A and B are shown apart, each in its own frame.
Chain A
Amino acid sequence: MSRPSRRVAVVGAGLSLFVRRALETGKELAYYAASHALASSGLRRRDVQAVVMASAPDAFDGVHMKGEYLSDGAGGWRKPYFRAYVGGGSGVFSIISGWSLVASGLFDVALVVAEEKMSPTQPHPQAAFNSIFDHTIERPLGPNLLWIFALEQHRYMHTYGIRNEEIALVSVKNKRNALDHPAAQVAAAVTVEEVLASEVVAWPVHRLMVSPVSDGAAAIVLAAEEVAKRLTDRPVWVEGIGWALDTSYWGNRDLAYPRYVEDAARMAYRMAGISEPRRQIHVVEPYDPFAYKELHHLEGLLLAERGKAPEDLARGRFDRDGELPSCPSGGLLGVGNPIAAAGLMKICELYWQLRGEAGKRQVANSPRRGLAQAWGDLMQIGTVVVLGV
């Protein structure tokens, strides 16, 4: 692959509140986040030349062709608009998709909106996931997501001799970080003991090690270099993008290590010219829908030794004032998990961190480069973006 020549920057970011059950429609949530992002960029809706929408399964809302339904709320009216979709990885993929629109030279300003409303699924959105499994081989077994991720966590623990106390610490850190996030849904000061005392949902996963069911939206504005420099003296550049989709036959993989995340990270590092990620990435927002996933992903991103991320966590390496702050936002475990919106929330966080605008969440190491990552499908896709100032 050649190296893209047109530089693209994030010039605005916006979020709705993340809540268990929003009274707003999905269109309204999308409108709110898009308006917030546009206002922060100093641009108006009419300046937007193209729109990308991200949202996870239609089954949550029970709306077929959900992207079409959300189009006016997201600002797509009479514009080039489409919905890019990689399951749980969609939030971080959406900026990749938006980047490609601007980097192609076809557009100078693109709006990226991610929306998720999980609450319409009654009594619980977990049921909407029953239809993600292979209809012949897997569905007859009655699996659900908690079940398969419990398998994966167990495999991770078994392979490297990791104790559940070490994993519970991720929940403690992220829920604590989220206390400083104004949009957070499940911020809390909890201890490892409290996490392990919460009920077991599928051994070894306890309730406080799982992100909540959420409604919410996030948006960013992307601009080409010449436009970005006119708008702000602190554009946040998209330096690297990467994504990789592994086989559908997840049962054939060693679940101890997310190789597809490594594939995606290597693609992004190559584009960003990063040869030593542990020195060159200063703040990271790995995907943390389950506590163990943050550690698992930090290893896949080559930001920690395989099986050693729990030790790094225990010695404070991933704290806000640590060597490599991880999920300073509070992540999905603290801020909440409206699926696609949660991925884009991580991009918003990097935008604010790299501009020094994260307020009480600001990390201590004056970061110049950050990475966000999401994951989805059948433990199958990694999406990675490197941003820098």
Chain B
Amino acid sequence: MDNHVALVGVGLTPLRTVSPDLSFREMIFEAATRAYADAGLTPRDVDTFVSVAEDFHEGTSITDEYTPDQLGAVRRPVHTIAGDGLQGLAAAYVLLRSGAAEVAVVEAHSKASNIVRHEEVLALAMDPIYERPRRLNPHAVAGLEMRRYLHQAKACPEVCAQVVVKNRGNALRNPFAAYGAVLSPEEVRRSPPLAEPLCELEVSGYADGAVVLVLASAEAARRLPGQAVAIRGIGWATDEPSLSGRPWAEAVYARLACEMAYQMAGIRAPAEEIDLLELDDTYAYKELQHLEAALRLEVGEGARLTAAGRTALGGPLPVNPSGGSLGMGYGYDASALVRTAMAALQIRGAAGPLQVEGARSAVVVSWRGVPTTSGGAVVLGAL
């Protein structure tokens, strides 16, 4: 296997529902300090830095202004991806592959507790001419998609509740998670409806936190003392932005992203070659769509695998052993990098009570949330 790029340092802060004691810059500093220590280097050894942020989430325009100091990146090549965490990872990955850099850092954070009503921010992501006049609550878009998915999958809503029970249960073992809980599917379904059939407990709760990853070329990784994990493949894709023209039952962006990553990684049969999956579960039903994309399944097969308990932590295909966003907390575009960090710990065999026995390969699938059709995929493997 020709491992061009490796993940050599992982640093994250525990996700918390509120963080009144820390600014986002202090959280980034904490995550960066951990990541540099983990990789056994200082920011002076880093050739390029990528931050992941969106202006409206930060409440600051041109928010990349505030990235360099706390990363130790002043007067260095720093840029921002106004996008998904895995798009940011991809931006660093291509700089390493191009030869322009040997060591790269990717940073993402969430200070969700500063946003009073995230739905109102999300509503501004709707097309201003065709969609905004409908005054749709963004969760209603998810409700529509969930309904369409369940219809085409010939599944009942209880399978989504099972995802919630599994993920929040897994999160109880995760020291970085904010939403661990013991729940029953009935309790989930009894929670208040947000946009039927979507109910409150099927939506990830918001969380604050920061994550920093250190990447290196294969050559640089050999010099560094940290325990390296191979980035075997990466992919990202955007589908139709308008609500009217998109497919509603399947996550085409995730299929495209996975295929790109698998082709790079040389993966032919993902269900056999991948030991664990960290899939976006901003809404419970999205885990099912993303599972189908990641394993090349027909619409509905993901629901049946889940209903049969095969995606549980001890099952043959563990999905979101970390607890996912439902269990860890949702941190916007940082979520995917938090999950990449969790997958890397699994491959290092350092995931503690979450450890999937003998995990040697993992796939992470991300989504940017309503109303987007953008996502990414990364395949990690043992070196």
Q: Which B289-326 residues have C-beta < 8 A from chain A?
A: none
B368 pairs with A65, CB closer than 8 A: yes
Among candidates A25, A66, A271, residue contacting B129 with C-beta atoms closer than 8 Å: A25
With A63-B128, A377-B62 given, is the CB distance from A71 to B374 under 8 Å?
A: yes
A82 pairs with B91, CB closer than 8 A: yes
Chain A residues with CB below 8 A from B47, complex form: 1
Q: Which B189-242 residues have C-beta < 8 A from chain A?
A: 235-242
B62 pairs with A87, CB closer than 8 A: yes
With A247-B74, A377-B62 given, is the CB distance from A69 to B99 under 8 Å?
A: no
B90 pairs with A82, CB closer than 8 A: yes
> Please, which residue of chain A has its CB at the minimum distance from the CB of B96?
A104
With A76-B238, A248-B69 given, is the CB distance from A67 to B82 under 8 Å?
A: yes
Q: Which B75-133 residues have C-beta < 8 A from chain A?
A: 75-84, 87, 90-91, 93-102, 121-122, 124-125, 127-129
Least CB distance, B292 to chain A, in whole angstroms: 17
A72 pairs with B65, CB closer than 8 A: no
With A1-B47, A242-B77 given, is the CB distance from A67 to B83 under 8 Å?
A: yes
Chain A residues with CB below 8 A from B54, complex form: 58, 64-65
**A5 to B97 CA separation, bound complex (whole angstroms):** 10
A97 pairs with B79, CB closer than 8 A: yes
**A56 to B61 CA separation, bound complex (whole angstroms):** 9
Chain B residues with CB below 8 A from A377, complex form: 62, 64-65
Chain A residues with CB below 8 A from B65, complex form: 87, 132, 248, 377-378, 380
Q: Is B351 an interface residue (CB 8 A)?
A: no
With A80-B90, A376-B62 given, is the CB distance from A1 to B101 under 8 Å?
A: yes
Least CB distance, B263 to chain A, in whole angstroms: 10
Number of interface residues of B (CB under 8 A): 63
A4 pairs with B100, CB closer than 8 A: yes
A80 pairs with B236, CB closer than 8 A: yes
Q: Is A293 an interface residue (CB 8 A)?
A: no
Chain B residues with CB below 8 A from A81, complex form: 236-238, 374
Chain B residues with CB below 8 A from A249, complex form: 69
Least CB distance, B21 to chain A, in whole angstroms: 16
B237 pairs with A260, CB closer than 8 A: no
**A120 to B256 CA separation, bound complex (whole angstroms):** 34
> Please, which residue of chain A has its CB at the minimum distance from the CB of B86?
A82
Q: Is B55 an interface residue (CB 8 A)?
A: yes
Chain B residues with CB below 8 A from A58, complex form: 54-56, 61, 82
Least CB distance, B158 to chain A, in whole angstroms: 32
Least CB distance, A219 to chain B, in whole angstroms: 17
Q: Which A48-87 residues have C-beta < 8 A from chain B?
A: 56-59, 61-69, 71-72, 76-87
Least CB distance, A36 to chain B, in whole angstroms: 22
With A59-B55, A77-B240 given, is the CB distance from A84 to B79 under 8 Å?
A: yes
Q: Chain B: residues with CB nearer than 8 A to chain A?
A: 47, 54-56, 59-62, 64-69, 73-84, 87, 90-91, 93-102, 121-122, 124-125, 127-129, 235-242, 252-253, 256, 260, 264, 368, 371-372, 374
5 contacts between A and B (CB under 8 A): A3-B99, A63-B124, A80-B90, A88-B62, A106-B264
Known: A58-B56, A80-B90, A101-B94. 20 other contacts (CB 8 A): A1-B47, A64-B125, A68-B241, A69-B125, A78-B252, A80-B236, A81-B237, A82-B90, A83-B81, A84-B82, A86-B80, A103-B98, A103-B100, A104-B97, A131-B59, A135-B59, A248-B69, A249-B69, A377-B64, A377-B65
Q: Chain A: residues with CB nearer than 8 A to chain B?
A: 1-6, 25, 56-59, 61-69, 71-72, 76-88, 93, 96-97, 99-101, 103-106, 128-129, 131-132, 134-135, 241-249, 259-260, 263-264, 267, 271, 376-378, 380-381
The list of the 10 closest CB pairs from A to B, nearest first, reads: A103-B98, A104-B97, A104-B94, A4-B99, A64-B124, A245-B78, A87-B62, A57-B61, A64-B125, A82-B87
